[in-house]
C-alpha cells in the first residue's frame, strides 16, 4: 500500500497532538517496510516554518509577560506571583528547543524511509496518468482543504482514497501492516 502524507503528519508526531499515536503507527509500518510512505518535499519544509512561527509568537508573549512581572515585582503584595510568572516564562522559552529537536528527529525518521517527491513537471505529469496498481491512500488532518468532492473525485481517478484523520488512515492501513 502506498500512503501519501503531508506536513500535518510531521507536525502531529512532532507536537504529540491528538492523533500522534496513529501517525506514529503509520510511520512505524513504513519503517518496517509494510507500506510505502510518500512525502512531498514541501511537506518537510512547512513544519519548520510552523515551529518557527510558534516560537516567535511565544517570545512575544514571554516579553509581554516579563514586562508585567517587572511591574508586579514593584509591589510587595504580588511578590509571590512574580516567581510563578517567571517559572511560566521559563517553561514557554524551553518549548522552542524541545519542539525543534523533536521536529528534526521526526523529519530524520521520515526521510530515512519515505519516498520524497519534489514538485516538478517531470514528477507531476507521469503521476496523474499512472494507473492504480496497488492501494493508495492520502492521509491528512485537513478535511477543510481536501474533503471536497472535486479532490476526492480526482484522487479516486488515480485509485487513491482520502482519509481525513490519522485514526481513519490507520484503520485502512492496519490490514497491510500486521504488528505495527
Q: The C-alpha cell of 62 is what?
A: 514571554
Q: The C-alpha cell of 22 is what?
A: 496513529
Grid cell 472535486 is found at: 150
Contact 106, 115 (CB under 8 A): no
Is the per-residue pLDDT at 127 higher than 60?
no
pLDDT digits (tens, 9 = 90+) for 91-126: 999 988 999 999 999 999 999 999 998 866 666 556
Q: The C-alpha cell of 148 is what?
A: 471536497
Contact 65, 85 (CB under 8 A): yes
Contact 114, 31 (CB under 8 A): no
The reported pTM is 0.83
Class of domain 2-176: alpha beta
d(CA 15, CA 27): 15
d(CA 155, CA 24): 24
pLDDT digits (tens, 9 = 90+) for 9-33: 999 999 999 999 999 999 999 999 9
Partners of residue 117 on adjacent β-strands: 40
Amino acid at each position: 500500500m502506498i500512503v501519501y502524507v503531508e506536513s500535518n503528519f510531521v507536525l502531529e508526531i512532532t507536537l504529540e497532538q491528538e492523533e500522534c499515536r496513529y501517525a506514529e503507527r503509520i510511520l512505524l509500518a513504513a519503517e518496517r517496510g509494510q507500506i510505502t510512505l510518500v512525502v512531498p518535499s514541501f511537506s518537510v519544509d512547512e513544519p519548520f516554518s510552523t515551529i518557527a512561527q510558534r516560537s516567535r509568537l511565544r517570545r512575544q508573549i514571554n516579553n509581554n509577560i516579563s514586562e508585567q512581572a517587572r511591574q508586579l515585582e514593584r509591589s510587595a503584595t504580588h511578590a509571590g506571583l512574580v516567581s510563578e510568572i517567571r517559572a511560566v516564562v521559563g517553561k514557554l522559552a524551553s518549548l522552542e528547543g524541545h519542539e525543534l529537536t523533536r521536529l528534526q528527529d521526526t523529519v530524520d525518521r521520515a526521510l530515512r524511509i519515505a519516498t520524497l517527491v519534489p514538485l516538478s513537471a517531470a514528477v507531476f505529469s507521469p503521476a496523474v496518468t499512472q494507473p492504480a496498481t496497488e492501494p493508495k491512500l492520502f492521509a491528512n488532518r485537513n478535511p477543510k482543504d481536501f474533503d471536497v468532492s472535486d479532490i476526492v473525485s480526482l484522487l479516486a481517478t488515480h485509485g487513491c482514497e482520502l482519509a481525513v484523520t490519522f485514526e481513519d488512515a490507520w484503520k485502512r492501513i492496519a490490514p497491510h501492516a500486521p504488528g505495527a
